[in-house]
Structure 1
């Protein structure tokens, strides 16, 4: 039953490919025997083709040391002829506290967590061995998943379309098929390239499985002695500050005397005006009503 369905799908895809994107192909020899032969060829190809199974996996687990685990995963990946395509490690401080040791130094105690993300490509036949080996590196596994996607029909569809387009190009050169729009020829060639690239991507995905890994460790406590960055902690002792205050007071007093001395002319003028006003009041007392 499945084979008949596959035959029907392949036949429809093949007939649709013959029409082109814009329907601008004019076929000189339009015989049903060619279509029947194409459908039969598609069924034979589907029956004989090797399944295109694309495997992907991901795992999340806790480890003792993120740094050492990352190095071990990179080593086992290279040993299995795989490739690390992404590796990111980071740490973030969750809590921090400063303990004062002296006026100019403190003990900073920080609690931070470390995580890492890795993406590797492993030969598909060695995927299970890789996943089992990596799972033994952790303290425990929080999540593990593997998916398999069958790309056989996509691969066959692209392959048949590519074959059909090659035949059309060959017939166009011999004059059996006339293409009205010249741009359709360019589209046809580009579509052939896209089909080849698409199948190469499927082959790559079939041969090498992509594995996403996330691992983390327990929070780490780190202690360090650093300089005190609080300026208020660097004040002088009380008696030193008291002597400095007395010295500053005497300095301000002497500056005040010097300032008054600089204003002697104004002071003398003010005294003269005040004395003149007193004399005037005595000489011309106010009249009583």
Structure 2
């Protein structure tokens, strides 16, 4: 197969696969975000998912998080405590909505909210960047045609051709990405509910409460004291010789002092 012919076929294949119709419409990318309060975060997340699916959109990301605001434990019984916790639940959902339905979707979301803290939309015109990519793509095609006419395996034409085709594909993908972002708008939803108080009976982890009662402990301590006293006497019995010598020295010194005085 002729090398120049294969190069030309390759460019034609890439061009036919990546090119779009000569679209001259404005390329407006819409992004929006909302923050609002709801009655129940989990139920709202389920409602949002159903609404997004019904309008032909998709959920790109979501998360639900509960943060403890305050917690306390009070005695409930000898071996259990009542744990009282105040927590705040928040949810984040990022979705892609058909651009023509973005306004209707935000209105639907606003009706789910108890109170809307913040709502905003941004429009980014990518028409110039889109046109620049299309013109650069045409330049790559012209350059490839010129290279193919003088293509040789011994020269630098192969590397140059590959570089131009890779750059050609990059520009095509950039425009495909712009088309996708124009068709589907990205909206970020932050929603939260009022602080919720939850009670739970848990095991008592205070070891002091598991000790015996006062009178039982008093009796045990008296018994322990008698044991210690007996051990003390047994210890003294081992030192009987030292005690005898001590008494002997004491009375001997006392006798010598009295004798000197007399």
The TM-score bracket by the shorter chain reads 0.7 to 0.9
1:229 corresponds to 2:205: yes
Q: CA RMSD for the aligned pairs?
A: 2.8
1:78 corresponds to 2:50: no
Deviations 1:130-161 (A, max 9, x none): 11111111112111111111111111100110
The match for 1:267 is 240
1:286 Cα shift?
9.7
Counterpart of 1:192 (choices 159, 168, 173) is: 168
| Secondary structure of the structure 2 residue equivalent to 1:51 | coil
| Secondary structure of the structure 2 residue equivalent to 1:57 | strand
Instruction: Figure out how many residues of one structure are paired with residues of the other and give that number.
Output: 236
Counterpart of 2:74 (choices 65, 89, 99) is: 99
Instruction: Say if 1:236 and 1:273 are closer, same or farther in 2 by CA, change over 3 A.
Output: closer
1:238 corresponds to 2:211: no
- Listed as ranges, the gaps of 5+ residues in structure 2 are 1-21
The match for 1:211 is 187
| Secondary structure of the structure 2 residue equivalent to 1:55 | strand
1:214 Cα shift?
0.5
> Partners of 2:253 and 2:63 in 1: how far apart?
96
Counterpart of 2:133 (choices 158, 165, 169) is: 158
Instruction: Say if 1:207 and 1:277 are closer, same or farther in 2 by CA, change over 3 A.
Output: closer
> Partners of 1:231 and 1:206 in 2: how far apart?
64
1:78 Cα shift?
1.4
Instruction: Say if 1:147 and 1:280 are closer, same or farther in 2 by CA, change over 3 A.
Output: closer
1:226 Cα shift?
1.7
- Listed as ranges, the gaps of 5+ residues in structure 1 are 1-44
The match for 1:37 is none
Counterpart of 1:58 (choices 17, 30, 33) is: 33
Instruction: Say if 1:287 and 1:181 are closer, same or farther in 2 by CA, change over 3 A.
Output: farther
Counterpart of 1:250 (choices 223, 226, 230) is: 226
Provide TM-score, normalisation by structure 2: 0.80
> Partners of 1:280 and 1:112 in 2: how far apart?
81
Structure 1 runs (4+) deviating above 6 angstroms are 179-182, 276-283, 285-288
> Partners of 2:107 and 2:142 in 1: how far apart?
48
Deviations 1:206-255 (A, max 9, x none): 11110000011111111112222222233322111111110110111122
> Partners of 2:253 and 2:72 in 1: how far apart?
78
The match for 1:113 is 88
